[in-house]
Amino acid sequence: MKQYTVLSALQALENKTYTCEELVAKSIDCFEQDLKTDAPLNAFLEIYADALVQARRCDEERDRALAQGPDALKNLLAKKPLLGIPFGVKDNISVRGKSLTCASHILEGYTAPYNATVIQRLVDAGAVPLGRCNQDEFAMGSSTEYSAYGPTRNPINRTYVAGGSSGGSAAAVASGMVPFALGTETGGSVRLPASYCGVYGLKPTYGLLSRWGITAFGSSLDQAGVFGVTPDDIALPLRIMSGKDFYDDTSEDIPAGCEINSPCPPLADTEFASLKIAVPRQFAEAKGLDEEVAGIFEKVQTWFKERGSSIELVDIPVLDASIASYYVIALSEAASNLSRFDGIRYGNRKDRGEGYDDLFIQTRSEGFGAEVKRRIIIGNYVLSDQFSGTYYKRAMGVRARIQREIAALYKTYSCILCPTCPTPAFKLGQKTEDPMAMYLSDMFTVFVNLSRTASLNVPAGTTSAGLPVGVQFAGPMFSENRLLSMAKAWHTGRNGEKK
């Protein structure tokens, strides 16, 4: 079992080919082997010291139930369907008693006092948090090079970026360290690294997952997401984490008929035949769309057509303004959210004893990295009295239009198909000095966050240089089950074809 999945790991536990402890030990071993290589991935910033102890507890619980008979074990697994399965956690999600730094110096020394709801629900279901995954500082970036703790490398080719901002989680899954991992999305931070690393990555509907315990970046856009090697690796954790949470008023229960199935059933041939798919012209014909990415995207369209789905090129001109609107809104919200890091309430403090102003300035100047500072400055600028009408209000107007037009589109079309990123992964260091080039990596992803809808990165092929390329299966709010079912059919079809 080299690259194990959630379902194959559960099967191995059932067959007793592995214990929970062995599974977790295997993950730790994979991490340690990687440390010995010339260019370690830097996917995890920390492996939790008690992961093995937690795993042993899972084994004991399992053994106790088994001793009482098969029914007791069945009941236990119904309550704890992820018993003993390790997973990676992006460093901006709270795990009680553990460090949380958002890959920033400003949060050094901070310990999360409680579990994020998504973590609590996974832990209640028996899953074992393995450790903290690297990311861009405060989730701001598209390559995981803006981490204060060094970049994460792409497991497919270590001279390339893993993508960001949840690059550590993507690399941890792609390199087989964990069967699934949590990331977060504000504008593409799960889908983009999933695309660069060749794994599945879901950005769920806004509100499907509670944001309680997740460090805020752009609160009206933020949402946790899941990485997996197969659609099933996403479906089960998603089902467990989803639904209304008392601590997050924007969270929602899944509407009837949209429940997430696990294992996820592949979409039936008859259903493919009735799919009406929209391909936004603004993306298909985008300047800067890499030729090989376009070629792979073409092949995915053919695959759908062969199954009888209809595909139409649709014009959505407002999408051309999505990047501009996203960056104005995300940075405004970030500037306000990050004001809480003042050296008093959280983490690091630089106090020369010269009063509060000096303390704030010293702490923030030393604690935040260049990209975070750039965003705080831009965010405060566009929110200032003088300019908010020109920038913030107009960006909100664009957002409202995107939301309206995307919702209207989904009345006619079942889903949107488009590349996840205009290019495959780029070389480490290639874009760090050029923020605009970095921002443009998100040009196909941000409309999903702005419209609060759902989208899944699906590994679709590799370039001649062997780099993975992903496409998005995007759908209306609460279409996760359907998107995963489409992906399951794609995944089984492809893996069958390979044999």
- Residues annotated as part of the active site: 90, 165, 189
**Shortest spacing between CB 141 and ligand GLN, in angstroms:** 5
Helices (H), 139-230: 167-174, 191-197
**Which of 13, 119, 139, 254 is in the footprint of ligand GLN by CB under 6 A?**
139
| Binders in 304-343 for ligand GLN, by CB under 6 A | 330
Residue 91 lies near ligand GLN (rule: CB under 6 A): no
Cα gap 13→183, rounded to integer Å:
26
Residue 187 lies near ligand GLN (rule: CB under 6 A): yes
The residue with its CB nearest to ligand GLN is 189
Cα gap 391→485, rounded to integer Å:
40
Contacts of 248 (CB under 8 A, 6+ apart): 117, 210, 211, 212
**Shortest spacing between CB 94 and ligand GLN, in angstroms:** 17
Cite the beta strand spans of 7-80 per DSSP E: 44-47
Strands 310-314 and 454-462, by their bridges, are unpaired
| Binders in 212-231 for ligand GLN, by CB under 6 A | 217
Q: What value, to the nearest 5°, has the Cα angle with vertex 29 and ends 26 and 31?
A: 115
Give the largest Cα separation in the chain, rounded: 72
Among the listed ranges 56-64, 79-87, 167-175, 180-188, the one in contact with ligand GLN (CB under 6 A) is 180-188
**Shortest spacing between CB 449 and ligand GLN, in angstroms:** 7
Strands 86-90 and 128-133, by their bridges, are parallel
**Shortest spacing between CB 56 and ligand GLN, in angstroms:** 35
Q: What value, to the nearest 5°, has the Cα angle with vertex 320 and ends 201 and 200?
A: 5
**Which of 129, 151, 167, 188 is in the footprint of ligand GLN by CB under 6 A?**
188
Name the CA radius of gyration of the chain, rounded: 22
DSSP 223: E
Closest to ligand GLN by CB, 206 vs 413, is: 206
What would the x/- binding string for ligand GLN be over residues 425 to 454, using CB under 6 A? Answer: -----------------x------------
Closest to ligand GLN by CB, 26 vs 431, is: 431
Residue 189 lies near ligand GLN (rule: CB under 6 A): yes
Residue 186 lies near ligand GLN (rule: CB under 6 A): yes
Residue 144 lies near ligand GLN (rule: CB under 6 A): no
**Which of 126, 129, 141, 367 is in the footprint of ligand GLN by CB under 6 A?**
141
Residue 165 lies near ligand GLN (rule: CB under 6 A): yes
Helices vs strands, H then E, count in the chain: 18, 11
**Shortest spacing between CB 118 and ligand GLN, in angstroms:** 16
Among the listed ranges 19-27, 64-72, 179-187, 227-235, the one in contact with ligand GLN (CB under 6 A) is 179-187
The token duo for 118 is: 């998504």
- Give residue 274's identity as a one-letter amino acid code: S
* Order of all β-strands in the sheet with 454-462: 44-47, 128-133, 86-90, 180-185, 223-228, 200-203, 454-462, 468-475, 415-419, 276-280, 310-314
How many residues touch ligand GLN under the rule CB under 6 A: the total is: 13
Instruction: Tell me if the bond preceding 165 is cis, omega within 30° of 0.
Output: yes
Residue 193 lies near ligand GLN (rule: CB under 6 A): no
**Shortest spacing between CB 287 and ligand GLN, in angstroms:** 19
Site residues, ligand GLN (CB under 6 A): 139-142, 165, 185-189, 217, 330, 442
